[in-house]
Amino acid sequence: MHCEHKQSAINYRMKEIKFSLVYRDMWQSSGKYVPRREMLEKIAPLIIEMGCFSRVETNGGASEQVNLLFGENPNESVRAFTRPFTAAGIQTHMLDRGLNGLRMNPVPADVRQLMYKVKKAQGVDITRIFCGLNDVRNIIPSIRWATEAGMIPQATMCITSSEVHTAAYYIGMAEELIAAGAQEICLKDMAGVGRPVLLGNIVRAIKTAHPDVIVQYHGHSGPGFSMASMLEVAKAGVDYLDVAMEPLAWGMVHPDVISVQAMLKDAGFKVPEINMNAYMKARKMTQSFIDDYLGYFIDERNKYSTSLLVGCGLPGGMMGSLMADLKGVHAGINSSLKAKGEPEISEDELLVKLFEEVNYIWPKLGYPPLVTPFSQYVKNVALMNVMYMMKGMGRWQMIDRNTWDMILGKAGKLPGTLDAEIIALAEKNKYEFFEGNPQDNYPDELPRFIEEMKKNGWSRGRDDEELFEFAMHEKQYRDFKSGDAKRRFEQELEAAIREKYAKMNLPVAEIRKIMYPDAEPITAAASGKLLWELDFLDRSIEPVYGKLIRENDMLCAIQTRYGVEAIQGIGNARIISVSKKQGDTVNKGDTICYIERVKNPSNN
């Protein structure tokens, strides 16, 4: 046995395994929001200094939409984050949802094609193209467009475990993608439910038939297979492994680079060394981002693995949103149970019921790989089924339009066969099944966006990046431009912080001191009805949280109906919370809002 182990180590010793840090996915698999641009600019040098990463995942998936949701321009963020890695010779890669581009629903072909030109210009080297249904028709056009734009197209197979998702299924898919021009293949094991031996067999077949094709493995830690899977694919010839780093590793995320490196080094593989001083600095800085604000949107349960995922196969990347959804439904279910005099259930009990329901309905829906957006569709149906059944009603009471599009074939061909119950439900609703090319359902739209940007006086941006962002994330981009997104985020953040400290039974005044240690109250200078004045005309709006108030700036003056200024001589400040709303009656001396002074304001 000793000799056999030694021989095995000698075989592996010449094989080099490289690491890719999935810094974007680390956040998405943990919570709702991602680091701001200045945070990414701060962490990049430390990631480089660690010296062990050949690739870094910088953007794509939901991250750019999330930038817009908290009021930040994603184009500027992507350029800033990719720049230092490019200078250091580290490749950057993004997550690309094929037909859905960077959003949850299908994207017109002209917008998809523009994406690769924009992302290449922004400094992204590799696009990881996947279809949530593994329909190669949704991937192949992107392979061509990415190649034409100068990007490396990494065609991706969504790994799951079912009676239809066999090694032969994936090997055949890989052959189609390579024949279409894919330079690399990624095994995207988004839920970490791929069985290690199966994964090894897939990689071995690809590398045997196509030794020059790069193969990368991406496996989440959720159900606990990931380390065994990494060792198996390494033995089979994989070239790159996606890894994470603490404090955002393990749980629903990915294995930490330290453990992966130690395991492979012991097996005899050639792996890069880790600068541990830089690792600890990066670890500390990432924790500081969590402490800053991102931690308020991270569910603690996402830090833990659970074997319950082996059955339901839900992906780590959606656990943040799942936990948020669960809270709202949980309250509704318990309200219904209480009204009927039945015992309430805990959130953990509801989670188990949800997992069991996903496992039950998944085959009936044709085994769509549980990856964005189809994991959300299946999860939503399961959650609604559980809710209605606990109210004494049957399944399938609520299926949204996007889920029906998946069922009907408008997003691509399902891997499995629909249950007769689902087909009957479609016929009852007079829905028609679609067997054509999914892209045909979504005609070009760029001319519409170009015309509106021209009408609004909006710049199309460097390399048409603003045009792309508007066309890809229309609603979120409008809210970003208007400032509504930033306002909502700041209110959401304040509510999340208050919720955390309220659990400690602290008075509101004490919470405010913790949240805003430099806050100053602004009081009414006269009695009357409060008016948040917008301009010299008789128009008024609520104040914008975080908006800079410049001294003597009537655009932000707080007045009563009688026209007496409430803000006088405050210098430059930002509104951080509001105690009164427009139309409230106030007395002289009443606190209207709280502000923080800004010494050197840089923007409006």
Please spell the DSSP secondary structure of 122-189, one letter per residue: TT--EEEE--TT--GGGTHHHHHHHHHHT-EEEEEEE---SSS--HHHHHHHHHHHHHTT-SEEEEEE
Based on the fold, state whether residues 453 and 403 are members of the same structural domain.
no
Answer yes or no: do 523 and 578 share one domain. yes
Angle 320-377-375 (CA atoms, 0-180°, nearest 5)?
55
Q: What is the pLDDT of residue 323?
A: 66
Q: Confidence class of residue 279 from pLDDT cuts 50, 70 and 90?
A: very high
Within-domain flag for 526:
yes
Q: Which of 264-278, 378-392, 561-575 has the highest mean pLDDT?
A: 264-278
**411, 461: one domain:** no
Evaluate whether residue 403 is within a structural domain.
yes
Global pTM? 0.82
Is 361 part of a structural domain of the chain? yes
Q: What is the mean pLDDT of residues 50-60?
A: 98
3 state DSSP class of 575:
strand
Domain end, chosen from 387, 419, 440, is at 440
Encoded tokens for 484: 């509504």
Q: Note whether 330 and 427 are same-domain residues.
A: yes
Residues 325 and 406 in one domain: yes
pLDDT of residue 65: 95
Predicted local distance difference test score (pLDDT) of residue 565 = 54
pLDDT of the residue at 603? 42
Q: Are residues 432 and 336 in the same domain?
A: yes
Q: Among the listed ranges 245-254, 314-323, 345-354, 359-368, which one has the minimum average pLDDT value? A: 314-323
Q: How far apart are CA 428 and CA 425, in angstroms?
A: 5
In the prediction, which pLDDT does 313 show? 78
* Lowest mean pLDDT across 245-254, 389-398, 527-536, 576-585: 527-536
Rounded to a whole number, what is the distance in angstroms from the first to the last CA of the chain? 71
State which residues form the domain around 577: 516-597
Most confident of 11-20, 127-136, 351-360, 587-596: 127-136
User: In angstroms, rounded to a whole number, what is the distance separating the alpha carbons of residues 424 and 418?
Assistant: 10
Angle, helix 109-121 to helix 446-456, in steps of 10 degrees: 60
Amino acid identity at 473 = H
Q: Residue 423: is its pLDDT beyond 60?
A: yes
With b meaning 16 or more CB within 10 Å and e meaning fewer, what string describes 494-532? beebbeebeeeeeeeeebbeebbeeeeebbbbbebebbb
Residues 449 and 540 reside in one and the same domain: no
Number of domains in the chain: 3
Which of 423, 440, 457 finishes a domain?
A: 440
Cis ω before 373 (30° cut-off from 0): yes
CA 425/CA 348 separation, integer angstroms: 31
pLDDT band for position 503 (50/70/90)? Answer: confident
In a domain, 434, yes or no: yes
Instruction: Check whether residue 467 and residue 555 sit in a common domain.
Output: no
> At how many degrees (to 10) do helices 74-88 and 465-472 cross?
120
Contact 404, 434 (CB under 8 A): no
pLDDT at residue 345 in the model = 84
Residue 15 falls within a domain, yes or no?
A: no
In a domain? residue 95: no
Average pLDDT value for the chain = 87
Q: What CATH number does the domain containing 575 carry?
A: 2.40.50.100
pLDDT of residue 471: 98
* pLDDT tier for residue 587 given thresholds of 50, 70 and 90: confident
Task: Look up residue 570 and give its two tokens.
Answer: 């405050």
Cα 309 vs. chain centroid, distance in angstroms? 19
pLDDT: is 404 or 518 the higher one? Answer: 404
Q: Determine what percent of the chain is predicted with pLDDT higher than 90.
A: 62
Q: E strands within 63-130?
A: 91-96, 126-129
Task: Note whether 331 and 403 are same-domain residues.
Answer: yes
pLDDT, greater one: 542 or 595: 595
The CB-side HSE value for 321 (13 A sphere, CA atoms) comes to: 17
Rounded distance, CA 44 to CA 523, Å? 44
Exposure class string for 454-464: b at 16+ Cβ within 10 A, else e: eeeeeeebebb
User: Does the residue 104 lie in any domain?
Assistant: no
Structure tokens at 193: 């439910």
Q: Quick one: pLDDT band at residue 538, thresholds 50, 70, 90?
A: very low
Is 530 within 8 Å of 582 (Cβ atoms)? Answer: yes
Banded pLDDT at 324 (limits 50, 70, 90): low
- Residues 558 and 535 grouped into a single domain: yes
Residue 501 lies in a domain: no
Looking at the structure, tell me whether residues 349 and 375 fall in a common domain: yes
Among the listed ranges 251-260, 302-311, 412-421, which one has the minimum average pLDDT value? 302-311
Rounded Cα distance, 21 and 85, in Å: 12
Q: What is the pLDDT of residues 161-216, one digit of tens each?
A: 999 999 999 999 999 999 999 999 999 999 999 999 999 999 999 999 999 999 99
Distance of CA 64 to the CA centre of its chain: 8
Rounded CA-CA distance 461/131 in Å is 29
HSE-CB at 306 with a 13 A cutoff on CA atoms is: 18
**Last residue in a domain, options 381, 413, 440:** 440
Helix axes 508-515, 484-502, angle to 10 degrees: 120
Confidence class for position 312, pLDDT limits 50, 70, 90: confident
Q: How many CA atoms lie within 13 A of 314 on its CB side?
A: 32
